[in-house]
Amino acid sequence: MSPLLIGTCATACGVAGLLLPRAAYRFAVPFGEPLRDICVNCGASLPLGTRGWLSVRSTCPTCAARLGPATWATGVTAGLAGGLVAAALGPVAVLPLFLAVAVLGVLLAAIDIACRRLPDTLVLPALAVTPVLFAAVAAVTGQWGDWLRALLACLASGVVFIGMALLPGGGYGMGDAKVAALLSWYFGWLGWQAVLLGALLPWLLNAPLLLALLVSGRVGWKSHLPFGPALLAGGLLAVCVAAW
Ligand SMILES: [Zn+2]
């Protein structure tokens, strides 16, 4: 385990995480509504171009109302995730891909907490490019066995989790299923043990949290809670446990 590698990855992911609040705000809309392009408080248009999406400011440039999650929260979470992934995997060729999905995961979790959605506009392109990017790595390193296992894990969990999302009454949505399939690609690359951990750990993480919220009366039995944060945190934990 190299402190330099961990520090570099934590810093890179942390800086990327600092830029996420505005994108999280713009994506956090209910189903069927267009992405936000104005401040909900004063109605001012958000800046055009890259600055309208990536910015360390989590407030409106015009009225200073808070838009999206706190900058420190996304920065610290992404930095921690990046450091943990680097510590778990070490200097491997696929490390940048795992770091990228860790930062994407922070953005997805922030959106899910805000509006209980994991938008297709983010998840589907990631699902589409992931096999291609991993194939590029396999072409260099010869890890085609890992690539094939990742593909099988992604397809198998896609079928299982989408089936679960179609069951009536569950708190598990189609967005959760697609993110679970995406993450399963990464687990599959590491091995079947990681796939199993990645499928189980989110439920283990979610159960005590749900129980605490129920006991404290913050939520009722019929409340619909976002599952994305547990899915993503459980995934991070699965990568760490499987690698160590
Ligand atoms: Zn404003």
State residue 221's pLDDT score.
61
Alpha helices (H) in the chain, listed in sequence order: 3-18, 21-27, 71-89, 95-115, 120-141, 144-166, 174-190, 192-215, 228-243
Task: Give the pLDDT score at 223.
Answer: 64
How much is the pLDDT for 211? Answer: 83
Going from the Cα of 157 to the center of ligand 1, the distance in angstroms, rounded, reads 42
Q: What is the pLDDT of residues 6-35, one digit of tens each?
A: 999 999 999 999 999 999 999 999 888 899
Report the alpha-carbon angle 103-15-55, nearest 5.
Answer: 90
What is the CA(228)–ligand 1 centre distance, in A?
Answer: 28
On the question of pLDDT at 195 being above 70, the answer is yes
What pLDDT does residue 236 have? 96
pLDDT above 70 (res 138): yes
- Min mean pLDDT across 161-170, 196-205, 227-236 is at 161-170
User: Is pLDDT of 170 > 70?
Assistant: no
111-120 average pLDDT score: 92
What is the Å distance from ligand 1's center to 65 Cα? Answer: 6
What's the pLDDT at 169? 67
Task: Calculate how far, in angstroms, residue 13's C-alpha sits from the geometric centre of ligand 1.
Answer: 28
Instruction: Please say if the pLDDT value at position 164 is more than 70.
Output: yes
CA of 55 to the centre of ligand 1 (A): 15
Q: What is the pLDDT of residue 13?
A: 98
For range 96-112, the mean pLDDT? 97
Nearest Cα residue to 23 out of 86, 93, 94, 114? 114
What are all long-range contacts of 32-40, with beta carbons under 8 Å and residues at least 24 apart? Answer: 35/121, 39/63, 39/65, 39/67, 40/65, 40/67
pLDDT tens, residue by residue, 63-86: 999 999 999 999 999 999 999 999
Confidence of residue 91 (pLDDT cuts 50, 70, 90): very high
59 φ, ψ (degrees, to nearest 5): -120, 160
Q: How many CB atoms lie within 10 A of CB 80?
A: 17
CA quadruple 138, 129, 52, 98: dihedral positive or negative? negative
Contact (CB, 8 A) for 176 and 165:
yes
Listed residues: CB within 5 A of ion ligand 1: 39, 41-42, 44, 60, 62-63, 65
**Token pair listed for 140:** 């260099």
Ligand 1 centroid to residue 16 C-alpha, Å: 24
The mean pLDDT value for 104-110 works out to 97
**Rounded percentage of the chain residues whose pLDDT exceeds 70:** 97
Distance, CA 31 to ligand 1 centroid (Å)?
23
What pLDDT band is residue 225 in, cutting at 50, 70 and 90?
confident
Rounded to the nearest angstrom, the distance between the alpha carbon of 163 and the centre of ligand 1 is 42
| 64 CA → ligand 1 middle, Å | 6
Residue position matching structure tokens 């896609």: 158
Mean pLDDT over all residues of the chain? 92
> How many residues would you count in the chain?
244
- State the distance from the centre of ligand 1 to the C-alpha of 207, rounded, in angstroms: 38
Whole-number Å distance, alpha carbon 41 to ligand 1 midpoint, is: 5
Q: Ligand 1 centroid to 46 CA: how many Å?
A: 9
Distances 183 to 5, 166, 214 between C-alpha atoms, Å: 23, 19, 28
Ligand 1 midpoint to CA 52 (Å): 13
| 207: Cβ contacts below 8 Å, ≥ 6 apart | none
What pLDDT score does 244 carry? 79
> How many angstroms does the Cα of residue 36 sit away from the middle of ligand 1?
12
Q: Is the pLDDT of residue 220 over 70?
A: no
Identify the DSSP state of 66. B
**What is the Å distance from ligand 1's center to 61 Cα?**
7
